[in-house]
Amino acid sequence: MTTTSGELNVMESAGGVQVTYRRWLPDGDVRATVQVLHGASEHSGRYERLAAALTARGLAVHAMDLRGHGRTAESTGTGRFRAAGVGAVLDDVQALQSVAAEQHPGLPRLLLGHSMGSIIALASAERDGADLAGLALSGPLGVAPALADTVTSLEAAVAAGLGDQPLDALGAFNQSFEPARTPYDWLSRDDAEVDAYLADPLAGDDVPLTYGYAAGVFGLSLRAASPAGVAELPDGLPVLLLSGRRDPVGGADAEQVTALAGLLRERGLPVEQHVYPDARHEVFNETNRDEVVADLLTWLDARLTG
């Protein structure tokens, strides 16, 4: 049970940006803190159900609306970083980790990122993860060599003055599900979850990334999911990878995610990977979400008791 229901807070971060975050607390003693980083064109409020499962295990959960998203977009503009660029998002992650550490001193800290949030979580762990107890990535892009050409094209568009123009960064993901009921069938087999996403005014087509935002995030992914990037992760950091076999973000049969798992193992890190048959992108909102959450909780418990 939780004592707070996505309690809203605001912190000032790099460049004077007012970052909105939610906090969920357990009823009893706090065992550890988990920061959750959401994906593109969504917001932290969509993780209420996951937060309830985490707080039931004694975990305090903090989740910000990333720059350009949710209520933080009121400070940055929709789909924009503001002047500081993608590096400021990593500053925001570290700032919220400091908030969690001040509220719950001396406890283990874990980081969980979904989709675009998995890019940011991986990069954050590489830059600032020395005291992390674990890193969990849901629906990650993994190692995506073709992304280099995409970043080159996006950077050219930014140089041509299109940096603040909206970009359809998600439209192509539905192709393998056509003919489809909606443009977002790729998110989940659960129609109710897809419909909730479509009905959310802070998600989907109404909150697109800009060319500048996409160039920054995908450029960050290229660096983070590379041998040089992974080399910067703390020694011994446990990593959990969760993805659907039919998730177009992670490549055919999750091949890009499996490639990332290989990189992490070559780095000498303990990696646990779960690929769920027939599941799509949002594994925490999938028809088998109870199985996914159970796997996450088992992994988290092992980090805190091992």
pLDDT of residue 148: 96
Domain-embedded: residue 1 = no
User: What's the domain count of the chain?
Assistant: 1
CB 5 within 8 A of CB 24: yes
Q: Which residues of the chain have pLDDT under 70?
A: 1-5, 306
Cα four-point dihedral sign 94, 262, 294, 303: negative
Assess whether the previous peptide bond of 105 is cis (omega < 30° from 0): no
Domain-embedded: residue 147 = yes
User: What are the helix (H) ranges across the chain?
Assistant: 48-55, 73-76, 87-103, 116-128, 147-157, 191-199, 211-224, 227-230, 255-266, 289-305
pTM of the model: 0.97
Q: What is the DSSP string of 56-72?
A: TTTEEEEEE--TTSGGG
pLDDT of residue 5: 54
Can you give the CATH number for the domain in which 30 is found? Answer: 3.40.50.1820
Domain-embedded: residue 102 = yes
Domain extent at residue 210: 7-305
| Separation between Cα atoms, residue 36 and residue 240, nearest integer Å | 14
pLDDT of residue 97: 97
Report the length, in residues, of the chain: 306
Nearest alpha carbon to residue 30 among 100, 83, 89: 100
